[in-house]
A and B are shown apart, each in its own frame.
Chain A
Amino acid sequence: MATLHIVNRPLALESCLELAAADDPVLLIEDGVYAALLPQSRELLMLDADAQVRGVKERLQAGVISIGYAEFVDLAAEHSPLVSWN
């Protein structure tokens, strides 16, 4: 089963991407969504509400996909292990 990587601080994304396999989803939450302001080398998911709160939603780079809480729950249920990067 693929790993779900959950990034909740922007500076943690670099370490996360060192260890995330190409088919592992990487999800930005909380302050991690600020990383969506910068161009990234791979596709990233982002929790929509956290981006909206921070004014990030309208300034996304290409390759960032917005998801809701229900999809977050599905991802968490479908992947193992879950790895937090904070």
Chain B
Amino acid sequence: MNQKKLLFLFRRPPYAGTGALEAIEVALVAGVFDQDVAVLFKDDGVYQLLPQQDGALLGGRTVSKVLSALPEYGIEKLYACSQSLSSRAIDPENLALPVELLPLSAQRELLRQQEVVLND
């Protein structure tokens, strides 16, 4: 199969409807099909990275746990917007997923390298 460079741009908070979870599942499927997948958490999407979430209290799944499957599906290009984290007082040293922090300039470069960009 043709390999494409895919970026998943996640900007939604984790428990506002099922959009965030569904998008993560699409990313996992892309990983299964050996696509060149990267994920960028930006804006309210960085709330997905908070540790100690518990989706069971809402009768659903825990988004941070589902995210932790990304590396197991071969998706290791995981990035977060450093500005989005700091403006939300989220400690980058204590996240649910090992992400590389990118300044805006590096995010711009990341976008430019993609063939397809998908949203949550």
Contact = CB atoms under 8 A, between A and B. Distances in A.
A21 B119 contact: no
A21 B42 contact: no
Name the interface size band of chain A: 10 to 19
Interface of B: 7, 9, 11, 42-43, 83, 104, 107-108, 111-112, 114-117, 119
Contact of B108 (A21, A80, A85, A86): A21
Q: Is the interface of B mostly helix, strand, loop or mixed?
A: mixed
A62 interface: no
Nearest to B119: A84
Interface in A15-59: 15, 18-21
Contacts of A20: 108
B104 A19 contact: yes
A82 interface: yes
A81 B116 contact: yes
26 contacts: A3-B111, A3-B112, A12-B11, A15-B11, A15-B42, A15-B43, A18-B83, A18-B104, A18-B107, A19-B104, A19-B107, A19-B111, A20-B108, A21-B108, A21-B112, A81-B7, A81-B114, A81-B115, A81-B117, A82-B117, A83-B9, A83-B111, A83-B117, A84-B119, A85-B119, A86-B119
